[in-house]
Amino acid sequence: MKLPFAKMQALGNDFVVLDGVSTPLTLTAAQCRKLGDRRFGVGCDQILVVDPAPDAQADFGYRIFNCDGSEVGQCGNGARCLARFVERQGLSTARAIQVATRTTRMNLELLEQDWVRAELSRPEFQPARIPLDVPAQAERYTLDSPVGMVSGGAVSVGNPHFVIEVDDVARAPVQQWGEALTRHAAFPEGVNVGFVERVAADHLRLRVFERGVGETPACGSGACAAAVIQRVWGHTEARVRVDLPGGQLRIAWDEGQNVFMEGPATWVFEGEIEL
């Protein structure tokens, strides 16, 4: 079938975005892998599908597939791109929409230039809701892994994140530790692994080894997770600037609140692929 798509990116985290509203769309894992293939397909980190609203509260459904074909429940950078896609495709004239995924829901608001504000639901720290198989909830967990004992914080922002504090992100063992931890048995659904350096109480540096992808230039949910964990540890203020290799996101969160993220969402090109 001929499939129209948009190619979009957010700080270099890139996406194939599909309209499942105008034409109902089902995708197999193999089709997602082809779309994500940077030689035999379009090439992207994630495939995003906007769907009709699943309930009266939401304006649209939002499906997310990593380029390995796995379907997941959150993509923060992708959500900002989805809001821009919905506007550009004329699927909505509203400045603010609510989208629902298989695990969570977000309010998205178009800002000036190509920036978008995303309001994510309250972070989940209960192990069962991350999910994380440990005997008790804690601010820090120490995992025995192929790279030794590794400590970090764990949280879900609609997808699972393990956040490790490092002195210098530039020298962090992202590939080696990311590969060793993303499929750690303690995380039954896998996990995104963040490496965060605290520059100041309002400034973090972050690199993320993404579940189902590997290291990406930016991870929106990872930036939210790192900001939340650093706040829980008492290291940061409620508003922080998060510098990732691909650029900067602005995150705001305080205990018991939803998480707010602001950042760009950029249209690159549109096309059609035989799938």
Ligand X SMILES: N[C@H](CCC[C@H](N)C(=O)O)C(=O)O
Bridge pairing between strands 13-19 and 203-210: unpaired
The nearest distance, CB 1 to ligand X, in angstroms, is 25
Reported as type and span, the H/E element at residue 120 is: strand 115-120
Q: Is 250 annotated as a binding residue?
A: no
Report the sign of the C-alpha dihedral through residues 61, 267, 158, 58, in that order.
negative
Q: What are the helix (H) ranges across the chain?
A: 29-36, 76-88, 174-181, 220-232
The nearest distance, CB 68 to ligand X, in angstroms, is 9
192 forms part of the interface with ligand X (CB under 6 A): yes
Residues near 14 by beta carbon (within 8 Å), at least 6 away in sequence: 7, 8, 43, 44, 45, 268
Q: Which of 32, 67, 219, 224 is catalytic?
A: 219
Residue 186 and residue 42: Cα distance in Å, rounded? 34
Figure out which of the listed residues 18, 33, 60, 66 binds ligand X, where binding follows CB under 6 A: 66
156 forms part of the interface with ligand X (CB under 6 A): no
Active site residue 224: no
Q: Which of 44, 75, 81, 224 is catalytic?
A: 75
Candidate ranges 53-61, 87-95, 219-227, 247-255; the one touching ligand X (CB under 6 A): 219-227
Site for ligand X in 27-46 (CB under 6 A): 45-46
The nearest distance, CB 93 to ligand X, in angstroms, is 26
Residues near 50 by beta carbon (within 8 Å), at least 6 away in sequence: 17, 18, 19, 20, 21, 60, 61, 62, 82, 85, 86, 91, 99
Q: Is 77 annotated as a binding residue?
A: yes
Q: Is 76 annotated as a binding residue?
A: yes
CA atoms within 13 A on the CB side of 232: 20
221 forms part of the interface with ligand X (CB under 6 A): yes
Candidate ranges 66-74, 116-124, 170-178, 242-250; the one touching ligand X (CB under 6 A): 66-74
210 forms part of the interface with ligand X (CB under 6 A): yes
Which CB sits closer to ligand X, 92 or 103? 103
Which CB sits closer to ligand X, 115 or 201? 115
264 forms part of the interface with ligand X (CB under 6 A): no
Q: Is 13 annotated as a binding residue?
A: yes
Residues near 170 by beta carbon (within 8 Å), at least 6 away in sequence: none
Figure out which of the listed residues 20, 36, 127, 220 binds ligand X, where binding follows CB under 6 A: 220
Q: Is 87 annotated as a binding residue?
A: no
Number of residues that bind ligand X (CB under 6 A): 21
Please confirm whether the linkage preceding 131 is cis (ω < 30° from 0).
yes
Strands (DSSP E) found in 136-264 = 141-145, 148-156, 160-165, 192-200, 203-210, 214-216, 239-244, 247-252, 259-264
Active site residue 75: yes
Residue 177 φ/ψ, nearest 5 degrees: -75, -35
59 forms part of the interface with ligand X (CB under 6 A): no
Figure out which of the listed residues 17, 35, 47, 72 binds ligand X, where binding follows CB under 6 A: 72
Q: Within its chain, how far is the Cα of 237 from the centroid?
A: 22
- Write out the residues near ligand X by the rule CB under 6 A: 13, 45-46, 64, 66, 72, 74-78, 159, 192, 210-213, 216, 219-221
Q: Which residues are catalytic?
A: 75, 219
